[in-house]
């Protein structure tokens, strides 16, 4: 079987997985179910880091299981969106979701909003030292209290600000109605800038911008571009002020119902897909920015260091909002982790 282009590098993994599966005793094969279809629901377009990771996961699982395990991906909130994807997962209506880390606060895990702190991370390497370290594992472990299993983190990238005016100085944000994810830390960020946060589902954002229900929003360029927000936003300001990442989550009952070899196969395919997403995330955002420049619909503003410093100073009080939100234990753990990452 010739693998299509980009998956060629997975050949060695695929052959190794087939070889190890072939070593399983016949009884093991006999006990493996042939009726598994994993339902993976997410809210973004396919041509985004998350969309491409989900599709890569599908290919790897179906190849390595010889088609015994199917994966059905539902992108663009086709099946479930911000309002109901977590509940659908907890009820077993879907098997995998990959929400933004900003969306865990509302299911009783406010500590995930530490990722929303503006200007916390200087680069993706600093983020990965959190997500791949003990603090990241402690965050994922907390999902057990919600009947969920956290399977791993991955990046989209850094968020930019958009509106129908340049957003370069704090005064530019005053009185703007800015769409935000359901995160109290992001809402505090917008209020610190003098804007008014409006929580809306991702799938409703483009429509709300077009109708003037909100004036602007924030997201990495890959989301801005693939949702065609450039058609209703005249200015994109490259503030790089915050991080957007994801956690892949499954339902505990479902995960434990899988035979051990199937769980191993699915998890291995997922980890490789998350690593793939981290490899392409920067490129996806760069390509989206390039495409945006070519359309000419939206003025793109690069902020000076002085302008970013002024924004950073204005949003500094959000640190207190985060500390109140997540409590002293998580705050200390974050400070310790950030000290180590800066070492």
Give whichever of 153 and 202 is closer to ligand LMR, judged by the CB atom: 202
Contact at 8 Å (CB) between 249 and 99? yes
Tokens of 124: 């993706």
Judged by phi (left if over 0) then psi (alpha if -120 to 50, else beta), residue 175 lies in left
- Nearest approach, Cβ of 318 to ligand LMR (angstroms)? 18
Smallest gap, in angstroms, from Cβ of residue 43 to ligand LMR? 5
Output the six-digit token pair for 63: 């190849």
Please check whether residue 202 is in contact with residue 77, taking contact to mean a CB–CB distance below 8 angstroms. yes
DSSP string, 45-66: -SSSHHHHHHHHHHHHHHHHTT
CB of 13 to ligand LMR, least distance (A): 27
**Are 202 and 81 within 8 A, CB to CB?**
yes
Is 237 a binding residue for ligand LMR by CB under 6 A? The answer is: no
Instruction: Supply the minimum distance, in Å, between the C-beta of residue 208 and ligand LMR.
Output: 12
User: Which of 43, 96, 143, 266 is the binder for ligand LMR (CB under 6 A)?
Assistant: 43
Tell me the closest approach of the beta carbon of residue 225 to ligand LMR, in angstroms.
12
Q: How many residues bind ligand LMR (CB under 6 A)?
A: 10
Closest-by-Cβ residue to ligand LMR is: 100
Among 181, 237, 273, 341, binds ligand LMR (CB under 6 A): 181
Chain centre distance of CA 326: 20
Measured from the CB atom, the residue of 113 and 265 that comes closer to ligand LMR is: 113
d(CA 311, CA 192): 10
3-state secondary structure of 249: strand
Class of residue 40 by CB neighbours under 10 A (exposed 0-12, middle 13-18, buried 19+): buried
44 touches ligand LMR (CB under 6 A)? yes
Give, as ranges, the residues between 197 and 236 that touch ligand LMR (CB under 6 A). 202, 219, 223
Q: Which is nearer to ligand LMR, 77 or 258 (CB)?
A: 77
Q: Which of residues 3-42 bind ligand LMR (CB under 6 A)?
A: none
Q: Which is nearer to ligand LMR, 223 or 239 (CB)?
A: 223
Q: Give the separation between CA 106 and CA 283, rounded to whole angstroms.
A: 31
CB closer to ligand LMR, 52 vs 333: 52
- Tell me if 299 sits within 8 A of 166, measured CB to CB: yes
Instruction: Please give the backbone phi and psi of residue 219, each rounded to the nearest 5 degrees, phi first.
Output: 180, 160
Kindly tell me which of 100 and 239 has the beta carbon lying closer to ligand LMR: 100
To ligand LMR, the closest distance from the beta carbon of 333 in angstroms equals 24
Question: Which residues 243-272 are close enough to bind ligand LMR by CB under 6 A?
Answer: 244
x/- letters, 135..174, toward ligand LMR (CB under 6 A)? ---------------------x------------------
CB of 40 to ligand LMR, least distance (A): 13
Q: Which is nearer to ligand LMR, 100 or 189 (CB)?
A: 100
Minimum distance of ligand LMR from residue 262's CB (angstroms): 27
Residue 166 CB, shortest distance to ligand LMR, in Å, is 21
| 3-class secondary structure, 250 | strand
Residues between 99 and 118 that touch ligand LMR (CB under 6 A)? 100
Task: Please list, residue by residue across 214-240, b when 16 or more beta carbons sit within 10 angstroms of its beta carbon and e when fewer do.
Answer: bbbbbbbbbbbbbbebbebbebbbbbb
Output the CA torsion sign for 202, 206, 207, 211: positive
CB 169 within 8 A of CB 307: yes
Q: Is 8 exposed, middle or buried (0-12, 13-18, 19+ CB in 10 A)?
A: exposed
Smaller CB separation from ligand LMR, 136 or 245:
245
Residues that bind ligand LMR (CB under 6 A): 43-44, 50, 100, 156, 181, 202, 219, 223, 244
């Amino acid at each position: 079987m010739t693998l299509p282009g980009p998956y060629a590098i997975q050949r060695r993994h695929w052959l190794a997985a087939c070889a190890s599966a072939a070593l399983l005793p016949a009884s093991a094969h006999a006990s493996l179910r042939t009726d598994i279809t994993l339902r993976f629901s997410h809210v973004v377009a396919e041509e985004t880091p998350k969309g491409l990771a989900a599709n890569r996961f599908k290919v790897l699982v179906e190849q390595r299981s010889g088609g015994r395990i199917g994966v059905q991906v539902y992108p663009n909130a086709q099946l479930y969106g911000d309002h109901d994807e977590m509940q659908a997962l907890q009820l077993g209506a879907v098997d995998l979701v990959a929400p933004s880390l900003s969306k865990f606060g509302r299911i009783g895990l406010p500590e995930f909003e530490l990722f929303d702190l503006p200007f916390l991370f200087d680069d993706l390497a600093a983020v990965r030292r959190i997500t791949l370290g003990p603090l990241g594992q402690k965050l994922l472990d907390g999902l057990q209290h919600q009947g969920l299993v956290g399977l791993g983190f991955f990046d989209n990238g850094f968020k930019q600000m958009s509106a129908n005016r340049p957003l370069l100085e704090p005064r530019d944000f005053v009185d703007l109605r800015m769409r935000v994810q359901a995160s109290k830390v992001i809402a505090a960020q917008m209020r610190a800038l003098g804007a008014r946060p409006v929580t809306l589902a991702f799938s409703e954002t483009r429509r709300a911008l077009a109708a003037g229900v909100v004036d602007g929003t924030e997201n990495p360029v890959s989301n801005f571009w693939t949702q065609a927000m450039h058609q209703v936003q005249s200015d994109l300001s490259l503030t790089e002020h915050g991080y957007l990442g994801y956690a892949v989550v499954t339902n505990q009952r479902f995960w434990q119902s899988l035979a051990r070899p199937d769980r191993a196969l699915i998890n291995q395919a997922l980890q490789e897909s998350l690593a793939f997403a981290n490899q392409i995330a920067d490129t996806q955002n760069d390509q989206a920015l390039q495409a945006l420049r070519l359309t000419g619909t939206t003025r793109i503003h690069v902020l000076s260091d002085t302008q970013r410093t002024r924004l950073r100073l204005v949003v500094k009080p959000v640190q207190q909002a985060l500390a109140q939100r997540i409590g002293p234990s998580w705050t200390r753990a974050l400070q310790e982790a950030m000290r180590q990452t800066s070492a």
